[in-house]
Amino acid sequence: MNQELEQIMKTAQSWLTDAYDESTREQVRAMMEAEDKTELIDSFYRTLEFGTGGLRGIMGPGTNRMNKYVVAQATQGYANYLNKMAREGGFTTLAQGEPVSVVVGHDCRNNGRLFAETVADVFTANGIRVYLFESLRPTPEVSFAIRHLHCQGGVNVTASHNPKEYNGYKAYWEDGSQVLQPHDEGIINEVNKVRMEDVRWQGNKELIQIIGGEMDYDYMMAVKSVMIDQDVILRQKDLNIVYTPLHGTGRQIIPMCLRSWGFENIHVVPEQMVIDGNFPTVVSPNPENAEAMTMGMNLGTKLNADLVIASDPDADRIAIVCRNEKNEWVIINGNQTCMMYCYYIINNMKRLGKMRDDMYLVKTIVTSEIIRRIADRQGVCLTDEYTGFKWIANRIRMWEGQRKFIGGGEESFGFMAYDAVRDKCSPSAICLICEIAAYAKDHGMSLYEYLLHIYMEYGYQKETTVNVVRPGKAGAEEIAQMMANYREHPLTEIAGDKVVCIKDYQPCIERKLVNGQWQEQEIHMALGAKANVLQYFTEGGLKVSVRPSGTEPKIKFYFEIPAAMPTIHDYAKATAEAEARVPAIKQSLGI
C-alpha cells in the first residue's frame, strides 16, 4: 500500500467512530473493504474547498463529498471566521456589540432542507442569528435578503445546474456577493482547523427567524426596478411566453415577476413545475443543454409562443429560445443574451434620456468581445473581470458611490441588471429579455431578428465552448498538466492563424507581438488577483480562452470565431463557416 493510500485509509478510518451515524459508517466500511479502492480514493483524497461557487460535490460519505458532516464542518469554520471578523470590527453592516446575522436558503435538490437546517443549527450554536427561508428559494433572492436585512453573510445550499447526484454550498458576504479573497482564504483556514469534535451541532431555535412571503414581495419589487420601458411592455403585453423552472426555485417568483412587469400571456410547463431533486423530465437540469428545453419547446409549438424561457434549479441562470426566420426554435447562447442585454440597455436608456456619464457595464474575460465593441463605440464604460459573478459584484463594491452599475454578465447563461442583488439573477434577466422581445415586436421584429441586426451593426462571431471532463484525482492531475504544457510550450498559431497576443492571468502578464518582437506588460486585475486562465488572440480575430473549472472536474475552452456576414440573410452561412474551423482549432490545442 502506497503512502497516499495509507493516508486515505487513515482518514476514512476516522469516519468509523460514533461521531458519525450508522448509515455513514456502513458506507465508509464498504468502500474500505472493497477490492477496487477508486470510490474510496475519490471520496477521501481531499477536502472540498471553496471554488468559484463555494463548495460543490457529489453527495455521499467522505471528505470530498457533500454530506451533513462536511456541511457542518464548513459552517463551523465559516461561523468561526464571521465571529472573528465581528470581534475585529470587520463588517460595515454590524454595530458594535450586535450579534452576527446570516441568511440561509436552499433549492430543490435532495438533502437541501437537511443541509440548510444543519447550517442553521451550527450557526445558531455559535451565537449567530439566522434568517432561514421557509422553503426553497432562488439563489439571487438569498443574495437580496442578505443586503435587505443588513446581514453579514449567508449560505445557499445548491449545486446550481449540476446533475442530480450533486449538491453544494454557496457562501456569501455582507454585500450579498459570494465570498472573495481574503475572506475565502480566511474561511478555508478556519475550516481546515475544525475537527469533527469541534462542531457545535446543538442549534438555538430562539436565534432562527423564518422568512418567506414578505421577502418575496420586496424582492419582486426590486426586480421590477430593472424595467427600462414600461410603455413598450404595455403595448406588447400579450407577448406569448412559455416558462419552465426545470423543477426548481423559479416556479412561483418568476411568473409573479413577469406579471408585475405587465406581461399577461404567460404559460408554464406543468410537468416541470413539480419540485423534484431527481429532475425526472430531463437528463440534466442545465438550461444550457438543448435537451433540457425540449418540453418547453414542445409546449411553445403547441401554443404558438414567441419565447420559451427556462431557469435552472436555483434560478440564477437562464436559457432563451426564440423563433428564426423559418419559424424553427433556436436556443440563444449566453454570449448572445449578454450581448443583447448590453446593446438594449445602452440604446434604450439613451433613447429615453436615462443614460448618465457615470454608468458602466461589466463582462467577464471569457465573454464575447462584441460587447466591448458595442460599449466602446457608444462611449460607455465597460470593465473585464474574472469568471464568476462574485468578480462583477466586487467591481460594484469598488465603485460604490462613484459610478452607477447598469448591467453585467458572462457567457454561462447569466446576467445581473441591477445592484440590489450581487449574483446572477434569472427573475430580472427573464423579465428584461421579455421586455427586449416586446421592443423588437413593437418594431416589427422577432427577438432572433433583433440579434441579427446587432451582428450587422457590430460584426459576427461564433462562440463555442468545449468542455474536456476529467473526473477524480487522476483527472485533476491531467488538467493541471495540460495547463502546464500550454505555458511551457506557447502556441504560435491556431488553425493556421498567427497568435499575436497571449494573456496569462496566473502571473497576470500580457505578451503582444509588435513588429515581429514579443513585448510584455502587466495586466491589472481587481484586488491584484490571479487566475489559472490563458487567452490567445490571433491576427485574424480569433480568441481562445482556456480555464479549468473551479467547481467541476473539467477544463473549459472558449472559442470566439469571426466570420463574414454581409447581410442578415448570411447568418447561417457565417455560422457554418465559423463552425467548420472548430476541428482545426481543437487539433491545434491538442484536444
Q: pLDDT tens for residues 326-343? A: 999 999 999 999 999 999
What pTM was estimated for this model as a whole? 0.93
CATH code given to domain 47-211:
3.40.120.10
Average pLDDT over residues 139-147: 98
Given a contact cutoff of 8 angstroms between Cβ atoms, the answer to whether 554 and 468 are in contact is yes
Given a contact cutoff of 8 angstroms between Cβ atoms, the answer to whether 238 and 265 are in contact is yes
91/450 Cα distance (integer angstroms)? 45
List helix spans (H) across 34-67: 38-44
Given a contact cutoff of 8 angstroms between Cβ atoms, the answer to whether 521 and 510 are in contact is yes
Assess whether pLDDT exceeds 80 at residue 380: yes
13/9 Cα distance (integer angstroms)? 6
Given a contact cutoff of 8 angstroms between Cβ atoms, the answer to whether 270 and 299 are in contact is no
Number of H helices, E strands in the chain: 19, 23
The residues carrying an active-site annotation are 160
Residue 359, classed as helix, strand or coil, is strand
The superfamily (CATH) of domain 219-458 is Alpha-D-Glucose-1,6-Bisphosphate, subunit A, domain 3 (3.40.120.10)
C-alpha separations of 202 from 100, 117, 121, 505 in Å: 18, 11, 6, 44
447/455 Cα distance (integer angstroms)? 13
C-alpha separations of 6 from 34, 62, 532 in Å: 15, 15, 31
What is the CATH architecture assignment of 461-589? 2-Layer Sandwich (3.30)
Residue 561, classed as helix, strand or coil, is strand
Average pLDDT over residues 5-21: 92
Q: Which amino acid belongs to residue 148? A: H
Assess whether pLDDT exceeds 90 at residue 181: no
Cell of 189: 483556514
Same fold across 47-211 and 219-458: yes
Residue 472 binned pLDDT confidence (cut-offs 50, 70, 90): confident
Residues 474-522 have pLDDT tens digits of 888 899 999 999 999 999 999 999 999 999 999 999 999 999 899 999 9
Phi-psi region of 37 (alpha: psi -120 to 50; beta: other; left: phi over 0): alpha
437/445 Cα distance (integer angstroms)? 8
Q: In 10 A of CB 135, how many CB atoms?
A: 16
Average pLDDT over residues 536-556: 90
Residues 129-142 have pLDDT tens digits of 999 999 999 999 99
CA 16 from centroid of its chain's CA atoms: 36
Domain residues of the chain, as ranges? 1-45, 47-211, 219-458, 461-589
